[in-house]
């Protein structure tokens, strides 16, 4: 649990009443406009995030890059013209600007908007097949915007109260880039059909049976169709491996020694 000071995002308007005369004057909002990262990770309930994962693992081999649009928001009123904000890359970032990503030449909150995005181009390089890298960004003050809000509540849409729960960063954001297929939390529910996890097996099932590369990222018991599809993909691949072995072309795992097998259901 992070302990932090919460800064109010919305300035108040005060009405100055002068009892000695009939006229009154309105003090207008004149606080500095602030900019902050505003990624909504979930909507029911609203949850915010200060990190994101960009992976090519579920994409076909023809996909060589992708654009991630990182949301930002500003306080105050929408501008009548485009307004530029400042951003820097933290020195501890392991992603390389020359190979892994491309930032836009300028960072703009467009006219008439209180929210906008930073389009970041990420490239699919051979290196991220074996090790992930990350890009850490930090908003900075400039003549148009301040970047003075450090934390906000992880949960909830009320910017004036922090409900129980953790907090997230508002002026920094971390994006992890990878291209590695992993078993994830649900694979053990599928192992009766698919057996021991391996990236080579999953990609083979995608190639020959059409199984989506993110198929097992949900609970197998989420629907009867999910269970039926599991049986189909597992059975199709089992028959393929059996046919190849019968023809003298045993399919091995990546080590070149272990024959690829499916789950106990097909043994």
Residue 183 pLDDT: 86
Tokens 């029911």 sit on residue? 44
Residue 158 lies in a domain: yes
The verdict on 69 and 156 lying in the same domain is yes
Sheet holding 86-89, edge to edge: 51-55, 172-178, 133-140, 86-89
**Is this model's pTM higher than 0.95 or not?**
no
d(CA 115, CA 118): 10
Q: Structurally, how many domains does the chain consist of?
A: 2
* Structural domain ending residue among the three candidates 143, 159, 178: 178
* Structural domain ending residue among the three candidates 131, 157, 178: 178
CB 117 within 8 A of CB 71: yes
The verdict on 159 and 192 lying in the same domain is no
d(CA 174, CA 86): 16
CB 167 within 8 A of CB 4: yes
- Owning domain of residue 34: 14-178
pLDDT digits (tens, 9 = 90+) for 62-83: 999 999 999 999 999 999 999 9
Residue 10 pLDDT: 33
Residue 251 lies in a domain: yes
Burial class of residue 37 in the structure, from the number of CB atoms within 10 Å of its CB (0-12 exposed, 13-18 middle, 19+ buried) = buried
Can you give the chain as a three-state secondary structure string?
A: CCCCCCCCCCCCCEEEECCCCCCEEEECCCCCCEEEECEEEEECCEEEECEEEEECCCCCCCCCEEEEEEEEEECCCCCCCCEECEEEECCCCCCCCCCCEECCCCCEECCCCCEEEEEEEEECCHHHHCCCEEEEEEEECCCCCECCCCEEECECCCCCCCCCCCEEECCEEEEEEECCCCCCCCHHHHHHHHCCCCHHHHHHHHHHHCCCCCHHHCCHHHCHHHHHHHHHHHHHHHHHHHHHHHCCCCCECCCCCCECCCCHHHC
The verdict on 77 and 197 lying in the same domain is no
Q: What angle do CA 102, 105, 111 make, to 5 degrees?
A: 125
For residue 158, the domain's CATH number is 2.60.40.2030
Structural tokens at position 33: 């406009």
The verdict on 112 and 218 lying in the same domain is no
The verdict on 94 and 219 lying in the same domain is no
Residue 72 lies in a domain: yes
Residue 181 pLDDT: 86
The verdict on 157 and 199 lying in the same domain is no
d(CA 5, CA 189): 43
Ramachandran quadrant class, 100 (left: phi over 0; alpha: psi -120 to 50; beta: rest): alpha
The verdict on 151 and 251 lying in the same domain is no
The verdict on 85 and 103 lying in the same domain is yes
Q: Per-residue pLDDT tens, the chain, 267 aa: give them.
A: 343 333 333 333 333 333 344 444 444 445 689 999 999 987 777 888 999 989 898 888 899 999 999 999 999 999 999 999 999 999 999 999 999 999 999 999 999 999 999 999 999 999 999 899 999 999 999 999 999 988 887 776 555 445 545 788 999 999 999 998 888 878 999 999 999 999 999 999 999 999 998 898 889 998 999 999 999 999 999 999 999 999 999 999 999 999 999 999 998
Residue 8 lies in a domain: no
The verdict on 165 and 228 lying in the same domain is no
* Structural domain ending residue among the three candidates 161, 178, 195: 178
């Amino acid at each position: 649990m992070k302990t932090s000071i919460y800064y109010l995002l919305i300035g108040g308007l005060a009405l100055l009443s002068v009892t000695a005369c009939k006229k009154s004057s309105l003090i207008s909002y004149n606080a500095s406009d602030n900019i902050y990262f505003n990624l909504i990770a979930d909507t029911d309930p609203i949850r915010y995030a200060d990190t994101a994962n960009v992976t090519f693992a579920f994409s076909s081999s023809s996909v060589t890059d992708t654009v991630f649009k990182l949301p930002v928001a500003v306080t105050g009123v929408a501008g009548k013209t485009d307004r530029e904000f400042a951003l820097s890359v933290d020195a501890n970032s392991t992603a390389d600007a020359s190979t892994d990503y491309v930032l836009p030449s300028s960072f703009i909150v467009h006219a008439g908007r209180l929210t906008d995005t930073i389009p970041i181009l990420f490239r699919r390089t051979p290196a991220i097949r074996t090790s992930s890298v990350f890009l850490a960004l930090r908003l900075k003050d400039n003549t148009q915007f301040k970047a003075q809000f450090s934390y906000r509540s992880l949960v909830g849409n009320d910017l004036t109260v922090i409900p129980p729960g953790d907090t997230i960063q508002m002026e920094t954001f971390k994006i992890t880039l990878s291209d590695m297929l992993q078993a994830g939390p649900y694979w053990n529910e599928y192992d009766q059909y698919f057996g021991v996890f391996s990236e080579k097996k999953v990609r083979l099932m995608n190639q020959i049976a059409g199984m989506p590369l993110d198929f097992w990222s949900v609970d197998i018991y989420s629907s009867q169709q999910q269970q039926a599809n599991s049986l189909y993909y597992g059975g199709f691949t089992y028959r393929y491996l059996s046919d190849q072995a019968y023809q003298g072309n045993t399919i091995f795992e990546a080590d070149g020694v272990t024959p690829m097998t499916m789950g106990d259901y097909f043994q």
